[in-house]
Structure 1
Amino acid sequence: MTTAQPTARRMNRVLGGSAWLSVSLPPGVSVKSTEWSFNTGLGRTIVIAEFISGRLEQLDPGDQFGRRLEVPNATTLGIRELKKDDGGLYSARVKLPPATVEDYHFHLAVYELVPAPEIQSQIHPSTLGWCNLTLHCQVPTTAAMDITWGTGDSLQDLARHRVSADGQSLHLALPPGTWNDTYTCSVSNPADRKSTSVAMQSLCLSNTTHATMWTWFLCIGLIVAVAVCFGAWLWRRRRRKAAGRAPMRDCPSEPQYAEIKRRRPPEGDEQILSSPPDSPAQSLLAMTPITSIYAQVQLSTPQLLT
């Protein structure tokens, strides 16, 4: 009589690791022999090992497994130093006395080791004291892997924080008072998982510090710009006032007078004035009309009609 396991047991392992395929039998059951076979996926099945009378007989014609097989007992097969080609369907045919045969199947998948991810942060300008940033989960591999974000030790879905379509980027807008959380990026395949965490407090404090510095720089720049503009306006205003006063200095409003002292001894006209009354010079002086500077000014200035 032959019985078969209803479904194949799935096993996920990593490259270089080990896989142990074990058949579960009731306690006290005696096993006559166990035959292990491997389906290469090319449509044929080969017998790789057989356990008979307490010892292992390796029957691998292609020598794919070499010395990497172990059979510690009648119901267990071990494969060490797993390779990518070791993945596939394994079967165990167990013969029990007196004439019972039971078949068990195992589906082994071999995956690459997951590298440790790296979290990179991108700070965005903050408003009202909020912490706005984007976390990028970088994985140095092109293999298919799942990326999950979570807070603390809980790897929960953070879709409310806007996760990118590929799952690598997490956009956060955190109000003050929520910066004590730790965000974790977890990268996994069915056989391995690696995680990296980052504390928000250090990133958000750095964000607010940069924002404060830029605010101070902006304020100082505005003050300097206002001071320069005011100084330029004041300088132009003083120049205009100085230009308006210049013609008044060139044209005085009142005539200037100079004190003329009589020379001793008299010269020129003074000699004529000091000559005797009956001299020819005095006769010539009497014939010449004498006018003052005020009279000349009045004659040269047009009379205003009243």
Structure 2
Amino acid sequence: MFWILVVEGVCLPLRRRMAVWSLWSLLLWGALLPAAVTGTQVQGQVGGSVLLVAECAPGFQVREAIWRSLWPSEELLATFFRGSLETLYHSRFLGRAQLHSNLSLELQPLEFGDSGNFSVLLVDTGGRAQTQILQLKVYDAVPRPVVQVFIAVPGDDQPPNTCQVFLSCSAPNISDITYSWRQEGTIDFSIESQGLFADGQVLRVSLGPGDKRVAYSCIVSNPVSWESATVTPWESCHQEAGKKKNVCADRVAPETENPLV
């Protein structure tokens, strides 16, 4: 005799009934278990890939695994059940998620809206379960910054043949970035904080005739990439005080987007 089970309008053979029940029980179990927030943070870049690693305790032999997206919406992404890897679920990661044999989940190509929380529920052969929470943050690639050179109006107390310059650095249309400066050709790249303003975007320097070839670089960075632009400010000192010069092509050497190491 051949028995069947109807699940959501689909007829399933009896031999698959226990498998279906077991999978749905596992899904329900994962929903009822308290979230074990581990604080694991993962960073990725738009257009790149990221690997969400499922970590197991020593001696924990995984029998089933479920990957889910928790925020901004809860979605089923991939499962490992009875030796079968499955990622064909209709989530926003459809076609961009791959479950590897070590049960780590790879997402690519990344989009800016992919930032959020993910969970993986692991059940071992003895019935023990553990849940991991991973926080993914996706960043845009840092663009090449633009440097503006401002020449200050000379004051009565300013030494002769000197030039007070303000260097302003900006990276258009991007957030979550950090600004820093370095003086090229020196062993110590650090810049004294007294000369920095606007969270590091503006640098004030005093130049003399001996600084004609001194170059300064503005570095903009986020956790996954960085870019820089270099300017020789003395070249602007002969201009009328109070005017500015846009600098975006003056570099020591051509540079492209670089990952942080």
Which category describes the TM-score, using the shorter chain as reference length? 0.5 to 0.7
State yes or no: 1:159 paired with 2:190. Answer: no
Greater RCO between the two (CA within 8 Å, min separation 6)? 2
Pair 1:205–1:103, CA change in 2 (3 A): same
Of the two, which has the highest radius of gyration? 1
Identify the residue that residue 69 of structure 2 maps to in structure 1.
38
- Alpha-carbon distance in structure 1 between the residues aligned to 2:151 and 2:71: 51
CA drift at 1:177: 4.6
For 1:50-105, what per-residue CA distance to the aligned partner results, in whole angstroms no more than 9, with x for missing partners? 023443212533x3111111112233100001123321110011122222212111
Identify the residue that residue 204 of structure 2 maps to in structure 1.
171
What is the 5 A alignment of 1:44-55? Answer: 45-55=74-84
Answer yes or no: is the 8 Å Cα contact 2:48–2:110 preserved in 1: yes
Correspondent of 2:47 among 16, 23, 27: 16
Gaps of at least 5 residues in structure 1 are 212-306
Identify the residue that residue 248 of structure 1 maps to in structure 2.
none
Identify the residue that residue 148 of structure 1 maps to in structure 2.
180
For 1:204-256, what per-residue CA distance to the aligned partner results, in whole angstroms no more than 9, with x for missing partners? 2663x679xxxxxxxxxxxxxxxxxxxxxxxxxxxxxxxxxxxxxxxxxxxxx
Identify the residue that residue 132 of structure 1 maps to in structure 2.
164
Identify the residue that residue 38 of structure 2 maps to in structure 1.
7
The structure carrying a bigger strand percent of its residues is: 2
Pair 1:191–1:206, CA change in 2 (3 A): closer
State yes or no: 1:71 paired with 2:105. Answer: no
Answer yes or no: is the 8 Å Cα contact 2:142–2:174 preserved in 1: no
- Alpha-carbon distance in structure 2 between the residues aligned to 1:41 and 1:157: 41
Answer yes or no: is the 8 Å Cα contact 1:34–1:94 preserved in 2: yes
Task: Report the TM-score, using the length of structure 1 for normalisation.
Answer: 0.56
Gaps of at least 5 residues in structure 2 are 1-32, 241-261
For 1:108-162, what per-residue CA distance to the aligned partner results, in whole angstroms no more than 9, with x for missing partners? 112222211022323345743324222121322254533222334877454222x
CA drift at 1:170: 1.5
Q: Which segment drifts farther, 135-144 or 23-32? A: 23-32
- Alpha-carbon distance in structure 2 between the residues aligned to 1:85 and 1:41: 9
Identify the residue that residue 234 of structure 2 maps to in structure 1.
204
**CA root-mean-square deviation:** 3.2
Answer yes or no: is the 8 Å Cα contact 1:150–1:158 preserved in 2: no
- Alpha-carbon distance in structure 1 between the residues aligned to 2:188 and 2:95: 42
Residue type at the aligned position of 1:11: V
The structure carrying a bigger helix percent of its residues is: 1
What is the 5 A alignment of 1:224-263? Answer: none
State yes or no: 1:189 paired with 2:222. Answer: yes
Task: Report the TM-score, using the length of structure 2 for normalisation.
Answer: 0.64
Correspondent of 1:89 among 117, 130, 138: 117
Residue identity (%): 27
- Alpha-carbon distance in structure 2 between the residues aligned to 1:74 and 1:3: 24
Answer yes or no: is the 8 Å Cα contact 1:148–1:155 preserved in 2: no
For 1:174-221, what per-residue CA distance to the aligned partner results, in whole angstroms no more than 9, with x for missing partners? 3455566542212223433222233x4xx42663x679xxxxxxxxxx
